[in-house]
Amino acid sequence: MDVIRSELYFGPSARGNHSEDLQHYLIFHIPGNPGLISYYNPFLSTLHALLSSPSTIPSANFHIYGHSLAGFETTEQHHELAGLERQIDYVDDLLYEEVDEIWQRTQRTPKVILMGHSVGAYILLEIIRRHRRRIEAGEKDFDLIGGILLFPTITHIARSPSGMVASALLAIPRSAHIASAIVKSLMYLIPASVLYYLVRAFTWFPEHAARTTTAFIKSPIGIKESLFLGKDEMDMITNDKWGEEIWGAATEPGTNSKDTIHSNLVFFWGQNDKWVAQKTRNELIAARGFRRSKASASAASSTSDVSSPADGWKPTMWVDDKKIPHGFCIKHSEVVAEQVSTWVEDIISNHNES
């Protein structure tokens, strides 16, 4: 079996790194749970190819980076389980390390667009909160110009259809340890190569997802970490905990060197996402969303009305109309990457025009 990587990076050519005329952008992707970044390989590679096209933004160099969450290492032992707060700390550190890495290679600090899937979207909002606090405290920081939240689980996950089942099971004392031990004992004698073909046969996963799932099952503490983190998600992801300074993202003074005309946050909700209660989603859209006319995805309102310009600071919210599942990175990477590439262009365009 191939070694599953814990990080993915897609960047410009070495020549492009040192061009003085190009602005560097880091698109930093935060995975969901289970937090193996290899699930997103086709998605991130397709996104990079689309953004690197000469017809996209000729004056831009794109760096796309993603890293597995803590505890999902497949080749080394990570002894301590990481709950949601520790994952936020871990991702925050990774972000600053990657910004510094790009600076070392290019001698330029990139402008940053965060991207998060599922619980990664919750982590994204918390990273924005921390970034704003640093700015408000007078610290010098990179330019955070936007965020893209894909199938976000950011409020009341336990009220969703899958969340209700998960919360009941995870409420059992030591459930993460028990479930992990059972799976480990069942899979101990099955070689990884055989398990891979079993995963493909029972799930119909494409190769990248089947190999990643096999590595996840065989990893030192991956299953235990996934359930441990899941329990934290059920307990902590409840009420909307962010104020307008977060929902407005880059529109308030202090976050960026430039303010944008519209909010730099874009939400993409699943139409029938089993991890998001529709009532919760619709209430959040009504309270926090800036509704746009229909484009390539359905507007986040039951009508095609456009909100008042006075609401332009609010995030743009779309509801999928293609029946893409919550786990889009398994079989729907290309169609989501195409949509995300347009949002990246919009974020950069709004930022540059302000």
| 279-324 pLDDT, tens digit each | 999 989 888 887 543 444 443 333 333 344 455 567 889 999 989 9
Task: Average the pLDDT over 146-158 and give the result.
Answer: 96
pLDDT in tens, 196-253: 999 999 999 999 999 999 999 988 889 999 999 999 999 999 998 887 767 765 444 4
Question: Which stretches within 28-113 are classed as H helix?
Answer: 41-51, 84-106
What integer pLDDT is reported at residue 340 of this predicted model?
Answer: 97
Q: In sequence order, what are the residues at sequence separation of 6 or more whose Cβ sits closer than 8 angstroms to the Cβ of residue 344?
A: 25, 27, 47, 51, 113, 148
- Whether 18 has a pLDDT exceeding 90, the answer reads no
What integer pLDDT is reported at residue 255 of this predicted model?
Answer: 45
What global pTM score does this model have?
0.89
What integer pLDDT is reported at residue 304 of this predicted model?
Answer: 34
Q: In angstroms, rounded to a whole number, what is the distance separating the alpha carbons of residues 213 and 276?
A: 23
Q: In angstroms, rounded to a whole number, what is the distance separating the alpha carbons of residues 30 and 3?
A: 21
Provide the β-strand partners of residue 7: 67
- Whether 28 has a pLDDT exceeding 80, the answer reads yes
**pLDDT confidence of 16, banded at 50, 70, 90?**
low
- Whether 260 has a pLDDT exceeding 60, the answer reads no
Backbone angles phi, psi at 190, to 5 degrees: -95, 120
Q: Please, what is the average pLDDT of the chain?
A: 85
Among the ranges given (93-97, 110-114, 150-154, 311-315), the one the predictor scored with the smallest mean pLDDT: 311-315
What integer pLDDT is reported at residue 293 of this predicted model?
Answer: 38
Surface-to-core class of residue 263, CB atoms within 10 Å of its CB (0-12 exposed, 13-18 middle, 19+ buried): buried
What integer pLDDT is reported at residue 59 of this predicted model?
Answer: 82
Degrees (nearest 5) of the Cα angle 49, 55, 60?
Answer: 70
- Whether 123 has a pLDDT exceeding 90, the answer reads yes
**pLDDT confidence of 263, banded at 50, 70, 90?**
low
What integer pLDDT is reported at residue 248 of this predicted model?
Answer: 65
What integer pLDDT is reported at residue 70 of this predicted model?
Answer: 94
In the numeric block, the tokens 């990481």 are attached to 82
Closest CA to 309 of 350, 244, 243, 263: 263
Question: Which stretches within 205-325 are classed as H helix?
Answer: 207-218, 222-236, 244-247, 278-288
Task: Average the pLDDT over 101-126 and give the result.
Answer: 95
Q: Is the distance from CB of 266 to CB of 149 less than 8 angstroms? A: yes
What integer pLDDT is reported at residue 176 of this predicted model?
Answer: 81
In the numeric block, the tokens 């709950």 are attached to 83
Per-residue tokens: 325: 């599942």
Among the ranges given (79-88, 90-99, 263-272, 309-318), the one the predictor scored with the smallest mean pLDDT: 309-318
Report the percent of the chain where pLDDT is more than 90: 58
Angle 207-218/222-236 helices, nearest 10 degrees? 90
pLDDT in tens, 328-350: 999 999 999 999 999 999 999 88
**pLDDT confidence of 262, banded at 50, 70, 90?**
very low
Task: Average the pLDDT over 142-154 and give the result.
Answer: 95
Surface-to-core class of residue 326, CB atoms within 10 Å of its CB (0-12 exposed, 13-18 middle, 19+ buried): buried
- Whether 91 has a pLDDT exceeding 80, the answer reads yes
Q: In sequence order, what are the residues at sequence separation of 6 or more whose Cβ sits closer than 8 angstroms to the Cβ of residue 50?
A: 56, 337, 338, 341
